[in-house]
Amino acid sequence: MSISLDEISTLESVLNEQFSQDRLSFKMSVHFVKDRMNHPRNNPSITLTELKGIFNRLTTVYISKLLLLKHLDTFNVRCTKTDINIPCAVEMSIDRTGSDHRQIIAITVMRKKGFVSKDPIEFKV
C-alpha cells in the first residue's frame, strides 16, 4: 500500500514536535516523497510503520550523535531488519532565539540489501 503525502507530513510534524526542545527537525525531500518512497523497485513496498520504526530507533539510540552533526554533514540510516536505507544531510541555521537549529533532510529512501553508502557516518537501526 502506498504512503500518502498527508501521512509523510504527519510523520514530519510528529518528529518535529517531539524534538523541538532539542532544536532538531526532520524534512523528507521532494525526491524522497515523490520519486522514491513508493517506487516499485522497493520490493516489498516501504510502509509507514517501517518508516516510523526507523525514525523512532534512530532518535532513541542516536539523538546525542545527531545533535553533534555539523552543517552539510551527510550520513546514512541503515535498517538492518528491513534493508531500508535513508541517506540524509544536515542543514544548520540560527533560530529566533539565536541558538543553532539542525534540520535533518532525508534525501532519498530505498529498500536495497547490500546498499553501499559513500557517507563515512552511518547509523544502524
Assess whether pLDDT exceeds 90 at residue 121: yes
Long-range contacts of 84-92 (CB under 8 A, 24+ apart): 84/46, 84/50, 84/51, 84/54, 84/109, 84/110, 84/111, 85/109, 85/110, 85/111, 85/112, 85/115, 85/117, 86/32, 86/54, 87/117, 87/119
* Residue 78 is assigned to a structural domain of this protein: yes
Question: Which residues fall within 8 angstroms of residue 38, CB to CB, at 6 or more apart?
Answer: 2, 3, 45, 46
* Residue 76 is assigned to a structural domain of this protein: yes
* Residue 119 is assigned to a structural domain of this protein: no
* Residue 45 is assigned to a structural domain of this protein: yes
Question: Which residues fall within 8 angstroms of residue 48, CB to CB, at 6 or more apart?
Answer: 3, 7, 11
Q: Tell me the pLDDT tens digit for each residue of 59-115.
A: 999 999 999 999 999 999 999 999 999 999 999 999 888 999 999 999 999 999 999
* Residue 46 is assigned to a structural domain of this protein: yes
The structural domain count of the chain equals: 1
* Residue 97 is assigned to a structural domain of this protein: yes
Assess whether pLDDT exceeds 80 at residue 1: no
* Residue 122 is assigned to a structural domain of this protein: no
* Residue 91 is assigned to a structural domain of this protein: yes
Domain of residue 22: give its range: 5-114
- Rounded Cα distance between 118 and 115, Å, is 10
Q: Tell me the pLDDT tens digit for each residue of 24-37.
A: 999 999 999 999 99
